[in-house]
Amino acid sequence: MKVLLLGLLKIALRVIYAPIKLAKTKNRIVYLSRQSNEKSLDMRLLESAVKKESPDTEQVFRIRTLNKGFKAKIKYAFAVIGDMYYLATSRLAIVDTYSLTVSCLNHKKDLKVIQMWHALGATKKFGWQSIGTKEGRDEKLAKALCMHKNYDYVLAPSKETAKFYMEAFGVDQSKIKICPLPRVDYITDGKAKTGEFYYNNPGASEKKIVLYVPTFREREEYIAEMLKTEFEGMEDYRLIISPHPLSSVKKDERYLPNGDFSSVDLMKIADIIITDYSACAYEGALLMKPLYFFVPDYDEYMKDRGINVNVFEEMPSATFKNAEAMLSSIKNGEYDFDMLYSFKEKYVENSKGSCTEIFAKFINLLMVSGENQ
């Protein structure tokens, strides 16, 4: 029944879109996202770079989450029509997740679409890789929604990660553009909100800050409790937990920092970073700080979702199923930074250049070539 309804929805959207496509194409870029109601860090950095590279290019942001409730869905439906207009009148569309209007509609030939995935890598499988798994999408629904169709280019942070993206997005090598996300520049700029953090969190400067940045999954609360238990009473360390934006687990104020800090900001401040299957691992690796993987549910996660990067092979001395053993390693103070460097270089290429500028120049070339068609 769902597949039938989605099929009818696609037909309706395409009928509505047909006359809208008659509108004139403008020198415009439209950004579309369901990740947040605000511009992402990557979008903000890219917006500024594009403005510098091509001042005459208009940039429009169509970003909103799909909230629960009838009113929210009606509001979202009207927003979709607005998305259609901007897709019909733009020369370039940039998305950072799946977009219904980008993937389900038949667009003008002069519209180019770039997938700028919202993560800096893919430790866990996603998209078409995880179809049919417990945590993945249903294949019939994915096909009905034309999942990840209509991309002209897909950004990948490295050749190694490109292999995963080709599978996840269902694209071939010709559509891959090796270019890390703009956020890499922010992560590696050598600046951190350390002073602001210590001002808002008195006494924190006397401890080693251990940041836990988990991915979104069913067992997250139970696993976080395991860490809390181990760090309980450890006076030399302060554990901070930065939950995934989609997490529904009730936040424990004892493990949250005072102040407004993103997970990236917290990684730049932290002394030690702990993660699991999250792409935050690649962000943390860029900082060359002790990075640990706490994966007590590795076997279950492999079965329920699937994993691209075997961290037991890639980061053997920093990957643990047991919290006590991991904490013992942390307290020991010995860390294999050569191992971490190899991990970083393998999964995030060109991290020492200006990723934002490189991407902005590529966009400008697309805009100019489109204008000359």
3-state secondary structure of 294: strand
Q: Which of 106, 107, 114, 37 is nearest to 75 (CA)?
A: 37
The CATH code of the domain that includes 30 is: 3.40.50.11820
Q: Are residues 10 and 112 in the same domain?
A: yes
Measured between alpha carbons, how far is 229 from 227 in angstroms, rounded to an integer? 5
Are 146 and 159 part of one and the same domain?
yes
Same domain, residue pair 29 and 141: yes
Query: CA-CA distance, 263 to 281, in Å (whole number)?
Result: 11
Residue 254's nearest CA partner among 220, 229, 222 is 229
Q: Give the confidence band of 69 by pLDDT, cuts at 50, 70, 90.
A: confident
User: Same domain for 225 and 317?
Assistant: yes
Same-domain status, 12 and 94: yes
The 10s digit of each residue's pLDDT in 107-134 is 999 999 999 999 999 999 999 999 999 8
DSSP character for 372? T
For residues 347 and 160, the answer to whether their CB atoms sit within 8 Å is yes
Give pLDDT, residue 371. Answer: 61
pLDDT of residue 352: 74
Q: Can you give the pLDDT at residue 87?
A: 99
When divided into structural domains, the chain yields a total of 2
Q: Are residues 164 and 220 in the same domain?
A: no
Task: Compare 218 and 170 and report the one with higher pLDDT.
Answer: 170
Please provide the average confidence, as pLDDT, over all residues in the chain: 93
76 lies in the same domain as 169? yes
For residue 245, what are the domain limits? 189-347
DSSP-assigned beta bridge partners for residue 238: 209
pLDDT at position 243: 84
Q: Do 317 and 288 lie in a common domain?
A: yes
Q: Are residues 341 and 318 in the same domain?
A: yes
Q: Are β-strands 92-95 and 58-63 bridged in parallel, bridged antiparallel, or unpaired?
A: unpaired
HEC per residue, the chain = CHHHHHHHHHHHHHHHHHHHCCCCCCCEEEEEECCCCCCCHHHHHHHHHHHHHCCCCEEEEEECCCCCCHHHHHHHHHHHHHHHHHHHCCCEEEECCCCHHHHHCCCCCCCEEEECCCCCCCCECCHHHHCCCCCCCCHHHHHHCCCCCCCCEEEECCHHHHHHHHHHHCCCHHHEEECCCCHHHHHCCCCCCHHHHHHHCCCHHHCEEEEEECCCCCCHHHHHHHHHHHHCCCCCEEEEECCCCCCCCCCCHHHCCCCCCCHHHHHHHCCEEEECCCCHHHHHHHCCCCEEEECCCHHHHHHHCCECCCHHHHCHHHEECCHHHHHHHHHHCCCCHHHHHHHHHHHCCCCCCCHHHHHHHHHHHHHHHHHCC
Q: Higher-confidence residue: 301 or 1? A: 301
Q: What are the residues whose beta carbons fall under 8 Å from the beta carbon of 175, sequence distance 6 or more?
A: 151, 152, 153, 154
135 in the same domain as 33 = yes
CATH number at residue 285: 3.40.50.12580
Give the per-residue pLDDT at 353. Answer: 73
Whether 295 and 308 map to the same domain: the answer is yes
pLDDT at 248: 63
Confidence of residue 370 (pLDDT cuts 50, 70, 90): low
| Per-residue pLDDT at 75 | 86
| Residue-wise pLDDT tens digits, 40-55 | 999 999 999 999 999 9
Same domain, 53 and 138: yes
